[in-house]
Chains A and B, each alone.
Chain A
Amino acid sequence: MSRTDCKYNWHETGKQVFYDSSTFETLIAQYPISFYDDFLGPDVVIPVAASPESGCKWVYQGVGSNDTGAKLADSVNGVVQLYVDNTNEAKTAQINMNDELMFSIAQGMIFETRVTMSVMPDGASSRGTIGMGGAFVAGGPAHRVGFEILENGVINAECDDAATDTPGSTGVTAVAGTYNIFRIDCTTQTDIKFFIDGARVAGSTTFNSVSATTNLKMQPYIGIVSANADLATMLVDYVRIWQNRA
């Protein structure tokens, strides 16, 4: 049975944080700004991009003929399923905040999500993309910090401030159907840290984001992009974001 642990200066953030000592899921983080969605409740339909609805925290950005994105009915914990098929075309299946950029890496933003590729990207053009970024661009926002899950489950970390793109190998390989907890800690913007299941990854790379002031603002993005006939399915269990006030 997992138990609750607490650190008074969690990862040198200066914040008291409660977490699960087994899974390293962050349970409560004492940040002024806190966002949490476990995708519970009856509302399985996510509004489409450019048509946000009052009370809804996400939109679905689909590009392609047969992509889908919705909560999975009767899925314990509450889960969003994102899917692209093997049609040979450019495809995206992503949830984001409709380009409302209300988070900022200049405010010590921390992003955490629990995700699995229930069907791994089956070709080089398909990948899972998870993180925080600017306005939506197919293939990835111009400025972003995030993880990418590639063909065969290889996971990379990346920081792109629209001038310098810094990638780093995590050394972790995702297993289809097995959830991992991904966390991105922007407490120090010049040294952004990436974690998988509580362990720091790509620790030998310095992820230094020198984004211009206008490029600091971000939204969460979670989904799949694919350019060719490569399919994939992603399940998203929860999303948590914290930051200091501006």
Chain B
Amino acid sequence: MGRTSCEYNWHKTGKQVFYDNSTFETLLAMYPVSFEDDFSGPDVVIPAAGSDESGCKWVKKIVGAAPPLVAKTGDGVNGNVLCTFTSASQAQDAEIYWDDQLVISLAQGAIFETRLALTTLPTLLSVASFGLWGAFGAGGSDFRVGFEVPAGGIVTCESDDDATDIPAATTTTLVAGTYYIFRIDCTDQTDIKFFINGARVAASTTFANAASTADSKCQPFLGMYKASGAGLGIMSIDYVRVWQNRS
């Protein structure tokens, strides 16, 4: 059983944070701006991108015939969202994000955390992507910090400020159906840090993001993408949390 621990200067952020000392899930972070969605409740349908609805905190991007699916799982304990590819040989998107409302900012020390599993690991050209993105772009926003998981399940970290793209592979290989907690800490935008299950990863790489204040604006983004081919992949998203300082 995990117990609650607390740090008064959590990872040198200057913030008091409560967390589960077994899973390292962040339970309560004393940030002014705080977003949390555990995908609980009856609203299993997520509005389509470009058709955001008042009161709904996400939209879904669906590209491809068949089509790929994005929805909350009926009766899913904890509440979760499934992003599911089909085997049709074509470009596909199955993602959730904030419809390009960029109200989070790397310049404000944004921290992104999610718990997710790839219940079917990506195959062929499928890629799982999740993190903080600028405006949507197929295959990746021009501005982003995030994790990527291609076929094979090895997790890569990436910071792209549209001038310099810094990728670095971690030593973590995901197991299908196992949940992991991923965190991206932008407290220091010149040295963004990535964590999996509480442990820092790709630490030998300095992820310096030099995006301007305007280009530092971002939104949470999670899902599956493939440019072509018959690749598969299913992402199950348990929760998303984002914190930052006020501007």
Give the contacts of A1-36 with B (CB-CB under 8 A). Answer: 1-4, 6, 18, 20, 23, 25, 27-28, 36
Nearest chain-A residue to B37 (Cβ)? A41
Query: Which interface class (under 10, 10 to 19, 20 to 34, 35 or more) fits B?
Result: 35 or more
Tell me whether B212 is interfacial, beta carbon within 8 Å: no
Q: Give the complex CA separation of A45 and B9 in angstroms.
A: 38
Residue B101, interface by CB 8 Å: yes
Q: A42 touching B16 by the CB < 8 A rule?
A: no
- Are A56 and B54 closer than 8 Å at their CB atoms? yes
A39 vs B104: C-alpha distance when bound (angstroms): 11
Task: Report whether A42 and B52 are in contact in the complex, using a CB–CB cutoff of 8 Å.
Answer: yes
CB–CB B58/A41 < 8 A: yes
Find chain A residues with CB under 8 A from B56 CB: 41-43, 55
* CB-based contact B54/A47 at 8 Å: yes
Total interface residues on A, using CB and 8 Å? Answer: 38
- Known contacts A76-B103, A76-B108; A40/B33 CB under 8 A: yes
Q: Does A89 count as interface, using CB distance less than 8 angstroms?
A: no
Known: A38-B33, A76-B247, A77-B247. A43 touches B217 (CB 8 A): no
Contact of A55 among B34, B54, B108 (CB under 8 A): B54
Alpha-carbon distance between A126 and B57 when the two chains are bound, in angstroms: 34
CB distance from A96 to the nearest CB of B (A): 15
B99 interfacial contact with A, CB 8 Å? yes
Contacts of B54 in A (CB 8 A): 43, 45-47, 53, 55-56
Contacting B32 at CB < 8 Å: which of A20, A46, A47, A53? Answer: A20
Q: Is B200 an interface residue (CB 8 A)?
A: no
Is the CB of B14 closer than 8 A to any CB of chain A?
yes
Cβ of A74 within 8 Å of any chain B Cβ, yes or no, is yes
Of the candidates B8, B100, B246, the one whose C-beta lies within 8 Å of that of A77 is B246
Q: List 29 A-B contacts (CB under 8 A).
A: A3-B9, A20-B32, A23-B32, A25-B32, A25-B246, A27-B30, A40-B35, A40-B57, A40-B104, A41-B56, A41-B57, A41-B98, A41-B103, A42-B52, A42-B58, A42-B101, A45-B52, A46-B54, A53-B55, A55-B53, A57-B55, A73-B101, A76-B102, A76-B103, A76-B108, A77-B103, A78-B33, A78-B103, A238-B33
- List the 6 closest A-B pairs by CB distance, nearest first: A55-B55, A42-B99, A56-B55, A4-B30, A41-B57, A42-B52
* Chain B residues with a Cβ under 8 A of chain A: 8-9, 14-16, 28, 30-35, 43, 52-59, 97-105, 108, 217, 219, 242, 244-247
Given contacts A20-B30, A42-B59, could you give 16 more A-B pairs where the C-beta distance is less than 8 Å? A4-B14, A4-B16, A20-B32, A27-B32, A38-B33, A40-B33, A40-B57, A41-B35, A41-B98, A41-B103, A44-B52, A45-B52, A71-B101, A74-B103, A74-B217, A238-B33
